[in-house]
Chain A
Amino acid sequence: MKKINFKAVLALTTVLLVALLATGCGGQESKQSEQSKDQQGEEKLKVGFVYIGPVDDAGWTAAHEQGRQYLEEQLPYVDASDYVENVPENPSDAERVITQLVEQGNKIIFTTSFGYMDPTINVAKKYPDVTFLHCSGYRTAENVGAYFGRMYQARYLSGLVAGKATKSNIIGYVAAFPIPEVIRGINGFTLGVRKVNPDAKVKVVWTNTWIDAAAAKDAAVALLDAGADVIAQHQDSPGPQQAAEAVGKLGIGYNSDMSKMAPKAVMTSPVWNWGPYYVDTVKAIKEGTFDSTPKYGSLTYWGGLAEGVVGLAPFGPMVSEDTKQLVEQEKQRIIGGEWDVFTGPIKDQKGEIKIPDGQKMSDQELLEMNWFVEGVEGTIK
């Protein structure tokens, strides 16, 4: 065969193409009848979600996904079936995905990663009738609310657990990016650790990624090599805890209950519980009582332990009764409102008093936090 017979190739592909179209058309009809069944019910309120990772990441996105499912269960008039996973934070993609969700008839859209902030604001300008809610940023508009949770409170409680458990007095912390959210979490955690164990140090390693499980594991291994016997983390995956379990050390998870992924290591995990907030917000928008004005620094909503947006996952069997009682006691102190984690005296890394005795940091100061407390080993680049 000197030359490939192009006519034969062309004929073959044409036949295949026709077959593809024929079977495809049959399939389309069945789907259309399904859709019309849906339309027989009442007009539903469509709510869309934009996710940074996959819904089964056992982390950040999984927590929002649980909130979305809770919303659908609780409010029968809501159709929250439109969600888009793995949307990168570059300016080009996010804005298009959000716009397409609007075009598909969604009236409320939750954008659940910091990098979607500018895209959300840009799209909101073009669609004043749609309400947008952006998680973890600082920009708001008439139809854009900024929401977040006081994760530092739950991290403080998990720090108490870690501080009690460490024997080497070195705790490793695998952190994503040096932004205020992560820094606030490290500081809250460290204050918890040092409350029960003033000699302990928290070593921080940056991975510069949220969702690279391999990089997160590598960072944890480096910390374990440096003598850490408890690994805490701010990542979207359970990689660091799995690395700790592999060498028989302990860990603190994050985002959602990570005990399933590393049952021998995970003592507890500070977790998100977005469901009730999503239900309340959608209700408020439907009833016309929603107000996007920032009330907590630059945020429209910033719930904590008291509101139940953040909490601790159930303790593992290795956590003692003493520790559990202490955590419960501190939790009630925070919920009661007379004390919060960032109440002075608090020293910075140099040992200088940063927050004087009895003074409480304001929400805005917390949201801009750009320094480490005493006991953290690491730098903010």
Chain B
Amino acid sequence: MIVYGTKYVIEKKLAPSSSAYVVIPFSSIILALLVGAAFLVLSGHNFFEVYTAMFRGAFGSTYGLSETVVRTIPLTLTSLGVALAFRMQLWNIGGEGQLYMGAFAATWVALTFPGGSAWWVMPAMILLGMLVGGLWALLPAIPRAIWGVNEIITTLMLNYVAIFWVDFLVYGPWKDPHGFNFPLTATFSSGAILPSLGNSRIHAGLFFGLILAVIFYVVIYRTRWGYEIRVTGENPGAARYAGINIKKNIMLVMFFSGAVCGLAGMSEVSGIAHRLQHGLSPGYGFTGIIIAWLSRLNPFVIVIVTFLFGGLQVGGYIVQTSGIPSSMVTMLQGLLLFFVLGGELLTNYQVKKVPAKKVTAAPAGDDSV
């Protein structure tokens, strides 16, 4: 890249400064808000009012705050789930499908044993939801471990299989017999519904996320197995040389990754929907990938980033009642993401000026970056 006769290159920083982790995302958010403000002003809206309304909608009232927490529950679980696989450089893009399979298995328990006591129905839903979510992730993990089949493609494709499987059930055999042929299962009985806090929709699934964040941290940073995962992720060659069983670890890590996403599905049907239905998740499995990435796969950062992300999603709709079209809100959310993810580049890379004499030595027309 040559600007005014001077050559610039982008190169990786050896060690990003710790302040960069705070300053750059913060500046990115401000820049995104400024660009968004420009669009809002150009289309004749008061940007300050829009931003305040979004913030109030998400964090400014007890109800808004409670809804942000509600949104945080499935997102924390899916981000933790995929982050575990990402730790080992396993690109599990199938969180959405694993969520649906977890929801499917939990619903099977709820529909097969209606009226069962929560003391055994609830643990059964949790365990089966995790088991089936985990098996769904194990399916692409086996060809990956044995033949090196690209897991990005297989996990992505299995999402659609899982979503259509759930659609098949709710349009067909699991349709509520008293539901006038609409695509919904019967409502769960009280034993299959996670308890919620007071009058809000915050349900016990919140604890799943918080407990798993701690377990995730302890396992990854404080156990021998976690060490193996990290070494395999950062340097597979060294891991093999050190005698780490990579194949076994690929399958184990993918299984647990899927199990955590499956738990997200279980908690969503049991805590929020109270039945299985078409369109259960508005892309929690995919948003979880972005969050895991932004949080640098750190479980505690995941919890915080998820909360902010939940707020961004929750704050959006209500702004419409002050006359902002929904497309504008979607654009604002997109801008924030674009800038924060773009800012990542500056954290790990730097723009460097190449001394002038090197430029003259370079062959003509060379504009490589």
List the interface of chain A (C-beta within 8 A of B): 1-4, 6, 9-10, 12-13, 16-17, 20-21, 23-25, 27-28, 30-31, 48, 54, 81-93, 95-97, 99-101, 103-104, 114-115, 118, 126, 137-138, 177-180, 208, 298, 367-370, 381
Contacts and interface: CB of A to CB of B under 8 A. Distances in A.
Contacts of B201: 95
19 contacts: A1-B353, A2-B350, A6-B19, A6-B20, A20-B37, A21-B48, A24-B37, A24-B51, A28-B46, A28-B52, A54-B327, A84-B321, A91-B274, A91-B277, A91-B280, A92-B70, A180-B181, A298-B180, A368-B181
A81 to B, nearest CB: 8
B279 interface: yes
Interface stretch (B26-34, B133-141, B145-153, B220-228): B26-34
A357 to B, nearest CB: 26
B37 A370 contact: no
Contacts of B37: 20, 24
Contact of B180 (A30, A138, A177): A138
B70 A2 contact: no
Contacts of B52: 28
B199 A126 contact: yes
Interface stretch (B86-94, B166-174, B207-215, B292-300): B166-174
B57 interface: yes
A48 B18 CA distance: 48
Given A1-B353, A27-B46, A95-B201, A90 B282 contact: yes
Given A31-B46, A93-B317, A103 B181 contact: no
Contacts of B167: 208
Contacts of A16: 30-31, 34
Given A1-B351, A369-B181, A90 B281 contact: yes
Given A13-B26, A96-B314, A20 B33 contact: yes
A138 B317 contact: no
Nearest to B66: A96
A370 B180 CA distance: 9
Nearest to A137: B182
B96 interface: no
A84 B327 contact: no
Contacts of B314: 96
A3 B273 CA distance: 50
B335 to A, nearest CB: 14
A126 B272 CA distance: 16
A22 to B, nearest CB: 10
A6 B347 CA distance: 11
Most interface-central of B47, B182, B320 (chain A CB within 10 A): B182
A14 B99 CA distance: 41
Contacts of A370: 181
B182 A92 contact: no
Most interface-central of B27, B37, B63, B279 (chain A CB within 10 A): B27
Interface in B327-359: 327, 330, 346, 350-353
Contacts of B27: 9-10, 12-13
A115 B279 contact: yes
Nearest to B347: A4
Nearest to A97: B317
**In terms of DSSP, what is the predominant structure of the interface of chain B?**
helix
A87 B180 contact: no
Question: How many interface residues does chain B have, given as a range?
Answer: 35 or more
Interface of B: 17, 19-20, 23-24, 26-27, 30-31, 33-34, 37, 46-49, 51-52, 57, 61, 63-64, 67, 70-71, 74, 167-168, 171-172, 179-184, 199, 201, 268, 272-275, 277-282, 314, 317-318, 320-321, 325-327, 330, 346, 350-353
A23 B278 CA distance: 45
Given A85-B325, A90-B282, A177-B183, 11 more contacts: A1-B353, A6-B20, A27-B47, A28-B48, A28-B52, A85-B320, A86-B330, A91-B268, A91-B272, A96-B317, A103-B63
A83 B350 CA distance: 46
Given A9-B23, A28-B48, A90-B280, A381 B168 contact: yes
Nearest to A103: B63
Contacts of B317: 84, 87, 93, 96-97, 100
Contacts of B17: 3, 6
B46 A92 contact: no
A115 B184 CA distance: 10
Contacts of A28: 46, 48-49, 52
A90 B285 CA distance: 14
Contacts of A48: 321
A201 B353 CA distance: 71
B321 A179 contact: no
A118 to B, nearest CB: 8
A342 to B, nearest CB: 16
Contact of B320 (A84, A99, A369): A84
Most interface-central of B51, B71, B199, B326 (chain A CB within 10 A): B326
Contacts of A20: 33-34, 37, 48
Contact of B326 (A3, A54, A90, A103): A54
A84 B199 CA distance: 24
A110 to B, nearest CB: 14
B278 to A, nearest CB: 8
A1 B352 CA distance: 6
A134 to B, nearest CB: 13
